[in-house]
Amino acid sequence: MLEGLMLGLQSIVEPQHFLVLLIGVFVGFIGGALPGVSGTMLIIIVLPITYGMEPISAFILLTTIYVACVFSGMITAILFRTPGTPESVATVFDGYPMTQQGKAGQALGIAVLSSATGGMVGAIFLIFLAPVLATFALQFSAPEYFALAILGLTVVATLSGGDLIRGVIGVTIGLFIATIGMDPLSGIPRFTFESAPLLSGVDFIPILAGLFAVSEVLRRSRDDHSIKDTFQKFKTKIFDFPIIKKILTTLTRSSLLGSAIGVLPGVGATTAAMLSYSEAVRWSKHPEKFGKGAPEGIAAPESANNSAAVSAMVPLLSLGLPGGATTAVILGAFVMHGLQPGPMLFTNEPQLVYTIIISMLVINLLMIIFAKPFITIFSKIMNIPYSVMGPVILLLCVIGTFAVRNSMFDVWIMLLFGIIGFYFDRIKFPLATIILGVVLGPIAEEEFRRGLLMAGGDLSIFINRPISATLLGFALLALTLPLLKKVFSKKTQPPPVSG
């Protein structure tokens, strides 16, 4: 581990890699702070650019943007009551009231310190847990990878806003899309309808760009989203020691809780932030102050969402299992570069893995340095109307999608999924489940068929091997638990009182 960390440190200080990291911080800062430009969308836009880069630079850029977006989403949440990213929703509860009280600088200082602290705790989790999981996963073969893919699909399906049916439908749609094209083992065309462009399948970049970026542009184009609010000048104070003393317990608890939640596939940083906020209220001696400008109400979600975002890389790097839509895009980037996240990645590409890990530590230190000047500049950027920003995002999506395979067909696919995503979003359909179906579908299919070939067609191989049987058991539990909860909650409800 120490050798790997030194290797990563040597790599990150190389001028070209450090320059890419700085660019990623800047781009991620802007993307996370601008409402409507989520981390997932920004990574999708940048992803085609990384195709021509060497893997280390490519993944420094992607992971830096990912972490920086989660970090900077709190700026508009605190100043304008408009979360830049979903992970910052809970920050609004106490951040905006502090701004209304003339304490915007104090609120931003708490958020910056909490985010950086949580991110570094998450990176420490990543350093120590990822190699352990990777060593354990060396025992994996086709049945285990199939079980892992199924577990990833079922966990996400159950975390679709409590609506299991929609989650399952979303995953099923993604799985169907993943089957379009040439059969990976037999080479037989499937669902191509004699269309030559479909022989190579539907690329995941136009699907991602359509469902998230284009649909968001369509949704926001209906309103005027320029920020016309004015606010008093303020000074961001990060190291306010009386405040640090006040939030220290909350900061520690929420960072650890966020890291633990982030390691769980399919949970995500938004859930971590909400759970940490509720725990901060539960443990507080003055819960009545929350929602009215309590410093702990900012420290809890911001430390949790950043630690969860970083520690979500643990299952991705160790097991090849994404924890949400953004890490699913990064998983797709690994595939695009001919790499397979998992235990062999630590053996075959140790420099890449440990450079990613070290970069996440460095990013959170740089955040503290760059946060104050960026917040000052940002007040001017926020005056750009969405009528300008939206078309720019759309243009970047078209260029990026076309550049991957030089195919206008992919651009039409992107626009089609943009319309689908727009209407699905209106009915609150969980789009992330479709994306994970597309990414994990091929893995599940190929490993299932390889497992059958290993066993001569005997399905019992998947339950005779202890690890795969355990993982499939967890997958079954993830599917049935929400149903059981609904059944028992109905039984425990008192009967209606007759009039």
- pLDDT score for 416: 93
For 79-104, what is the mean pLDDT?
78
Q: What is the arithmetic mean of pLDDT over 253-261?
A: 85
Q: In a 3-state reduction of DSSP, which class is residue 181? A: strand
Which pLDDT score is estimated for 159?
47
pLDDT for residue 282 is more than 80: no
Mean pLDDT of the chain: 79
Tell me what pLDDT residue 120 has. 86
Q: What average pLDDT does this structure show over 356-363? A: 86
266 has pLDDT over 60: no
State the DSSP string of 180-193: -EE-TTT--EES-T
pLDDT digits (tens, 9 = 90+) for 92-119: 888 888 887 878 888 888 888 888 888 8
Do 257 and 279 form a contact (C-beta atoms < 8 A)?
yes
The pLDDT of residue 10 is above 60: yes
Query: What confidence tier does 412 reach under pLDDT thresholds 50, 70, 90?
Result: very high
Across-strand partners of 255? none
- Residue 230: pLDDT band by 50, 70, 90 thresholds? very low
Instruction: Say if residue 81's pLDDT is above 70.
Output: no
Q: Which of 308-312, 359-363, 412-416, 476-480 shows the lowest per-residue confidence on average (mean pLDDT)?
A: 476-480
Asked if 90 and 301 count as a contact pair (C-beta separation under 8 A), the reply is yes
* Amino acid 420: pLDDT: 92
What is the pLDDT, as a whole number, of residue 415?
A: 92
Which of these ranges, 25-39, 130-144, 352-366, 485-499, has the smallest mean pLDDT?
485-499
SS3 label, residue 189: strand
Q: Considering only residues 373 and 135, tell me which one the structure prediction assigns the higher pLDDT.
A: 373
d(CA 356, CA 33): 23
pLDDT of residue 228: 45
Q: What is the pLDDT of residue 51?
A: 80
- Model pLDDT, residue 19: 92
The number of residues making up the chain comes to: 499
pLDDT at 499: 46
Q: Return the pLDDT at 321.
A: 74
Question: Bigger pLDDT: 203 or 132?
Answer: 203
Residue 189 dihedral angles phi and psi, to the nearest 5°: -65, 140
The pLDDT assigned to 229 comes to: 44
Which residue has better confidence, 282 or 246? Answer: 246
Residue-level pLDDT at 38: 65
- 176-187: pLDDT as tens digits: 998 888 887 777
Lowest-confidence segment of 144-153, 173-182, 231-240 by average pLDDT: 231-240
pLDDT on residue 314: 79
For 351-368, what is the mean pLDDT?
86
Q: At what angle do helices 55-72 and 350-381 cross, to 10 degrees?
A: 40
Query: Residues 43, 330: contact at Cβ < 8 Å?
Result: yes
Is residue 374's pLDDT more than 90? Answer: no
**What pLDDT shows up at residue 199?**
83
Residue 138 is classified by DSSP as T
The predicted-structure confidence for 23-64, as pLDDT tens digits, reads as follows 988 888 887 776 556 677 788 888 888 888 888 899 999 988
pLDDT, residue 317, reads 81
| 326/32 Cα distance (integer angstroms) | 13
pLDDT score of 126 = 75
Q: Two tokens at 454?
A: 């290993």
Summarised one tens digit per residue, pLDDT across range 319-332 is 777 766 778 788 88
Q: 409 or 403: which carries more pLDDT confidence?
A: 409
pLDDT of 195 strictly over 50: yes
Cβ pair 151, 340 in contact under 8 A: no
Q: State the Cα torsion 63-137-253-354 to the nearest 10°.
A: -40
What's the start-to-end Cα distance of the chain, in Å? 70
Q: Higher model confidence: residue 43 or residue 204? A: 43
Token pair of 4 as six digits: 């790997």
pLDDT at 419: 93
Does residue 293 have a pLDDT over 90?
A: no
pLDDT of 277 reads 83
Q: Supply the pLDDT for residue 208.
A: 76
CA distance 215 to 384: 20
